[in-house]
Amino acid sequence: MIHVNAIRKFVDEGEYEQAHSAIENLLALGPNNLEALKLQAKMYEVKHELDLEMKTWSRVLDIDQEDPDAINFLIQQQTEDREHFYFSDELPGGGRRYLCYPKSFIYISLLGLMGCICFFGLRTLSDRYPLLSDERVLLGSFAFFVLTPWLGIIYTWIRSLKSVIVHTDGLKLETRFGTKSYQWKDYEQVLLTYRMDADYPNTSLVLVPKDLDSKALKINLTSGVTPIKARTYLIRDVGQRYVGFRKVDENSTDFSKYNIKNY
C-alpha cells in the first residue's frame, strides 16, 4: 500500500495516472482515509471534474463535519454562487454575459501610486542629499517611479477584458475598444486545458482554429488569477453550448504551430 505522502510525490512529479490509481487502491482499503479523499478532491478540482469533486468533499464532511478544508470548499462554492448572481446576467437574445473584475488594473494602479509616493519622497530628501537634486537622477527616478508604472497602467487598461459573453454560436469578448466575436464553427476544437502542478497550476480555455493561419484564442481561467468572475459557471456554460468540449492535460497538447491570442 502506498502512503499519501508518496502519492503527493507522484502528483508533484506529474505522474497523475499513478497517483489516481494509488488513491483508488488506498481508498478501497480504507474508504474513510481523510487525507486520501482530500488529495483526490484536489486532483478533481484541477481537472475540473466538478461533480466528482463535490461528491468527494461531501464524503469528507460525512466523516468529519468540522474538517477545515471541506468547510473552506463550501465557502468557496457559496462565494462563486454569489459571483454568478451579481457578476453575470442573461442577455435578451440568449446567452450569458460574465463580467470581469479588473484585478491586474487595480494592482498596477497601486504600483503607480506607490511609485509617485517614492518619487515625491526622493524630492523631499533632495535638500538633505544634494546628489538627488542632480538633473539626471531626477529624470531617471521620474522615469522609473512614475512614467514606467503609468505606461503599464495604460497598457493594462487597453488589454483588459470588460466581459465574456457565451452564446449558442460562440464567444464574444468585450474590450475597452469594442467587441470581438469568435464563432464555434471557425474552430476545430474547444478545450479546457489544465496543469496539475502544486506550485504553478494553470487552467485555460483554448479555441483551436481550423486554419493554421488564424490565431488560437487562449483565456486564462486559473483560480486567483483570472479576472472573470464565476469561472466555474462559465466553463459549464461553454460545455453545454459547444458539442465536443473536452478537458485535457496541458502537457498532452501542442499549440506550437499556432499563433496564440492570450487574454
Nearest to 161 by CA among 222, 204, 220, 76: 220
pLDDT digits (tens, 9 = 90+) for 45-76: 777 777 888 888 888 888 888 888 888 888 88
How many whole angstroms separate alpha carbon 45 and alpha carbon 73? 10
- Does residue 30 carry a pLDDT above 80? no
**Mapped to the 3 state alphabet, what secondary structure does 136-194 carry?**
HHHHHHHHHHHHHHHHHHHHHHHHCEEEEEEECCEEEEEECCEEEEEEHHHEEEEEEEE
C-alpha to C-alpha distances, 200 to 39, 44, 223, nearest whole angstrom: 17, 16, 11
> Residue 16: what pLDDT?
66
More confident residue, 42 or 17: 42
Q: Under CATH, to which class is 4-86 assigned?
A: mainly alpha
Domain residue ranges in the chain: 4-86, 103-159, 175-262
How many whole angstroms separate alpha carbon 214 and alpha carbon 194? 23
Per-residue pLDDT, averaged over 122-142, amounts to 76
Asked which of 57-66, 121-130, 146-155, 212-221 is least confident by mean pLDDT, the reply is 121-130
> Residue 15: what pLDDT?
66
